[in-house]
Structure 1
Amino acid sequence: MSRGVFVGIATVDVVHRLERPLRPNEKVTALRQDISAGGPAANAAVVFARLGGDATLVTALGRHPLARFAAEDLARHGVTVRDAAPDVVEPPAVSVIQVIDETGDRQVSSVNAGAFWARYPAQPPGGITDGADVVLVDGHHPDLARAAVRAEAPVVLDGGSWKPVLSDLLPSVDYAVCSSAFPEPESLEVPRVAVTRGPDPIRWWAGPERGEVQVPSVVVRDTLGAGDAFHGAFAYALTTGASFVEALTTGARVAALRCSVVGPRAWLEQL
């Protein structure tokens, strides 16, 4: 069984599905509510596990009831959590998310991991990447990420946005899979780089080689976590011997499926 280690943030996601975006000072009744664990590394680990891999998430959660909820949700989906801050009693980051019913577009607000890690810079658990076939970092817990990229396994960067710690991580990254919001990905000195662009073709380059991967066309119902799904599927494909382009193709297929189904977890049943 392929083993993937995912290093980064775990949140509690509160998702409301709305008919339309809210106007200032407006109150509405949501069409639907979902609550689950979230975060780039956590969601990618869920997908890796669903595809048949052995997924471990290295993060900082603590023992607040909300943190326990997130850990239990991840465990239900086959993810082993290694908590670098098990004794912290403060709540973890909560992401507040609105998804618009007609378009599937989402708006997300979160405090992310910065303040939590600044107050509780726990030491990374020992041997966090032992036996890994692939390691993914999202950069949200810098000390954990710095420890993880020392792995002998291929290292994948979830480049959702620029973070200061990336200056330390990039020399050890083998694959950088970035969103279109990532600044100047062409300048990254990484062996293989890809940029996802929503429904538009994925751009990739590996040294002098360049190309594009087409994204399957679907009726978009919910874009929340689509990039995370892509990263989890990409990482899993690498562990099966897939080439860079083949892994990107797998990621695109899985992300498109995720966009076609309402809700943060329901789509997994079709994977």
Structure 2
Amino acid sequence: MSGAIVVVGSINADLVLQVARHPHPGETVLGRDSVLMSGGKGANQAVAAARLGARVAMVGAVGSDSTATVALAGLRDAGVDLTHVPTVPGTTGLAVVTLSQDAENSIVVIPGANLAVTVDAVDAARDVIVAAQVCVLQAEIPLPAVARAAQLAHDAGTRVLLNVAPATALPPGTLRLADPLVVNEHEAAVILGRPIDSPADAAADLAALGIASVVITLGSHGAVVLEGGRLTSLPARMVVPRDTTGAGDAFVGALAAGLVEGSTILDAAQQAVRVAAASVTRLGAQASYPWKEEPLP
């Protein structure tokens, strides 16, 4: 089964540690609880899109350890096609998430099996990539694989939704394949090589690099969208946050789902803001993502 959306990216298990506040360097604090959940930017985005009714295929890898079962659980539950997710020797990717009482998080990621998502792995999944309407990419797998998947998709007429997260400096040629490029303010600054004065200016400067469309996510301040030379600011929805983990991935997955339904980037982003807002009201990443029939803020 191929997908209208193909996500080429990371699959992790998330170890979420709940604490009253984040420890200072050298300090030990007592936590309130811990839970092991499905995660990884690629898997998160795939689940977010699938829960909204999109047909999604995943290209990634998990390890031969018991953690793989947890890492794949959310994808399986959402009905994502896992044909191109092999089990490789070694450990599954792991993210350790420290979640404070004010809903802010800090995250350490151990790539594990995600390092096996190489150019060769992308080439092996070529058929599903070129058959999709939208190819979603991030930066938690080796960057040559990201560049290869973007090029394969673009050459086949598959739309490339590129989320440069975590922040990294991808080749300009790869960035120019994005339509849209989705980044937060920090990621935009890394790409531009300087601090940004305003999201609007950053979006314009990114577009000046030859990128067709740009979305900059602003957390509790919403997002800005630059499409067809027109810049639009989208306000955030007012909610009481419980856990911001994976909110950006919820946005990207919802954006991809909107695009395969035929929405403009602006309309899809408006819906994605609502999906991301819903996600922060619940604990975890994938477990917090709304299903298609659920009401949104």
TM-score (norm 2): 0.80
> Quick one: which amino acid aligns to residue 99 of structure 1?
L
Which string of whole-angstrom CA distances, capped at 9 and with x for unpartnered residues, describes residues 154-209 of structure 1? 11011224434443421321101111111235234211101111111412223532
**Distance change in 2, residues 1:269/1:194 (3 Å):** closer
**Does the residue aligned with 1:110 lie in a helix, a strand or coil?**
strand
Which string of whole-angstrom CA distances, capped at 9 and with x for unpartnered residues, describes residues 9-43 of structure 1? 1111101122222343414132x322222121110
**Does the residue aligned with 2:176 lie in a helix, a strand or coil?**
helix
Contact 1:97 1:109 (8 Å CA) reproduced: yes
**Distance change in 2, residues 1:26/1:219 (3 Å):** same
> Quick one: which amino acid aligns to residue 111 of structure 1?
I
Name the CA distance, whole Å, in 2 between partners of 1:131 and 1:122. Answer: 18
Q: 1:200 is matched with which residue: 221, 237, 244? A: 221
Instruction: Name the residue aligned to 1:13.
Output: 14
Contact 1:8 1:144 (8 Å CA) reproduced: no
Q: 1 or 2, which has the higher helix percentage?
A: 2
Tell me whether 1:175 sits opposite 2:175 in the alignment: no
Counterpart mapping for 1:66-145 below 5 A = 66-83=67-84, 86=86, 88-101=88-101, 103-112=102-111, 116-117=115-116, 122-124=120-122, 125-126=124-125, 127-139=127-139, 140-145=141-146
> Quick one: which amino acid aligns to residue 173 of structure 1?
A
Contact 2:64 2:92 (8 Å CA) reproduced: no
CA deviation after TM superposition for structure 1 residue 67, in Å: 2.7
> Quick one: which amino acid aligns to residue 142 of structure 2?
H
CA deviation after TM superposition for structure 1 residue 61, in Å: 2.0
Name the CA distance, whole Å, in 1 between partners of 2:290 and 2:230. Answer: 36
CA deviation after TM superposition for structure 1 residue 73, in Å: 3.7
Instruction: Name the residue aligned to 1:26.
Output: 28
CA deviation after TM superposition for structure 1 residue 69, in Å: 3.3
> Quick one: which amino acid aligns to residue 217 of structure 2?
T
**Does the residue aligned with 1:96 lie in a helix, a strand or coil?**
strand
> Quick one: which amino acid aligns to residue 91 of structure 1?
T
Extract unaligned runs of 5+ from structure 1: none
Instruction: Name the residue aligned to 2:165.
Output: 160
Deviates more, 1:258-267 or 1:46-55: 258-267
CA deviation after TM superposition for structure 1 residue 57, in Å: 1.3
Tell me whether 1:35 sits opposite 2:36 in the alignment: yes
Tell me whether 1:53 sits opposite 2:54 in the alignment: yes
Tell me how large the CA RMSD over aligned residues is.
2.5
> Quick one: which amino acid aligns to residue 171 of structure 1?
R
Q: 1:222 is matched with which residue: 243, 246, 266? A: 243
Contact 1:59 1:82 (8 Å CA) reproduced: no
- State percent identity of aligned pairs: 24
Contact 2:45 2:249 (8 Å CA) reproduced: yes
Name the CA distance, whole Å, in 1 between partners of 2:263 and 2:229. Answer: 20
Deviates more, 1:69-78 or 1:5-14: 69-78
Contact 1:10 1:59 (8 Å CA) reproduced: yes
Deviates more, 1:42-51 or 1:70-79: 70-79
CA deviation after TM superposition for structure 1 residue 212, in Å: 0.7
Name the CA distance, whole Å, in 2 between partners of 1:269 and 1:91. Answer: 29
Contact 2:134 2:159 (8 Å CA) reproduced: yes
CA deviation after TM superposition for structure 1 residue 70, in Å: 1.5
**Distance change in 2, residues 1:44/1:175 (3 Å):** same
Name the CA distance, whole Å, in 1 between partners of 2:81 and 2:95. Answer: 21
